Each structure stands twice: as C-alpha cells, then as structure tokens.
C-alpha cells in the first residue's frame, strides 16, 4: 500500500483529510462504531465494527504524535461524549442527591438517559 501525505483534521466526530495544498477535504470518516488501534511504531489504524478487516492506516511523524492521535480519536465519537455525560451526571447525582441537568430543564431528554445508550 502506498502512503500519501495528507492534512488531517479532527472536527467533532469526523476525521477530515485533505491534499496538503487544497482547502477542500478529499474525504471524511465518521468516527462512530469504530476502533482505534495502535499499530507498529508511529502508526495507528481506524477500522469500523461492521468491517473490521478493513483498516485505514495513518503514519505519524513521531511516536508521540501517534499516541496523541490515538487518545484524541478514541474520545472523538458522539457516543463517547454521551457516555461521559451520563457518567458525570450520575456521579454528581450520587454526591449531591440532585440531578445536575434539572436546572437546565433537560433532564428528560432521551439522549441523556442513563442506560439508554449502551451499545
């Protein structure tokens, strides 16, 4: 496989990639239901649950950079954010006995419900 140099940008739960001299992205990967794997030195891959053999590989300039990308991408999904929210909400409720979302009037929102989104 040939490695091509790309500018890569993580924006919300999308990973955009660009040719280095272009302003418009060539493509994007939606980072839901995916697995981020550290491969050999400086390399990580992204694969999706429904097609685990197909890996999108990225080679970084340094191992440090590679680790940073792996950490960032593992937390990039909306579902991860949702789980964090539910976790914090639960922790705060345990400590204070109050639902922290109540003051914002969003405690009944479907997307914030505990246990509703286990995958």
**Alpha-helical runs (H) found in 20-77:** 63-74
Work out how close the CB of 13 gets to other proteins at its nearest, in angstroms, rounded to a whole number: 6
Give the distance, in angstroms, between the CA of residue 94 and the centroid of all CA atoms in the same chain: 27
Work out how close the CB of 7 gets to other proteins at its nearest, in angstroms, rounded to a whole number: 5
Is 80 a binding residue for other proteins by CB under 8 A? The answer is: yes
Contact string (CB under 8 A) for other proteins, positions 23-62, x = contact? -xxxxxxxxxxxxxx----------xxxx--------xx-
What are the E-state strand segments in the chain?
6-11, 14-19, 27-30, 34-38, 43-48, 51-59
d(CA 64, CA 52): 25
The residues binding other proteins (CB under 8 A) are 7-14, 16, 24-37, 48-51, 60-61, 64-65, 67-69, 71-72, 74-85, 87-89, 91-92, 95-96, 100-101, 104-106, 109-111, 116-119
């Amino acid at each position: 496989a040939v490695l091509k140099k790309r500018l890569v940008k993580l924006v919300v739960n999308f990973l955009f990639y660009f040719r280095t001299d272009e302003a418009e992205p060539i493509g994007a990967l939606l980072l839901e239901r995916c697995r981020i794997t550290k491969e050999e030195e400086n390399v990580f891959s992204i694969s999706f649950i429904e097609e685990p053999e197909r890996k999108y590989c990225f080679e970084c300039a340094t191992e440090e950079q590679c680790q940073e990308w792996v950490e960032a991408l593992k937390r990039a999904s909306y579902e991860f954010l949702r789980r964090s929210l539910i976790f914090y909400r639960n922790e705060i409720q345990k400590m204070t006995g109050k639902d922290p979302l109540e003051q914002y009037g969003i405690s009944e929102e479907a997307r914030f419900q505990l246990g509703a989104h286990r995958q």
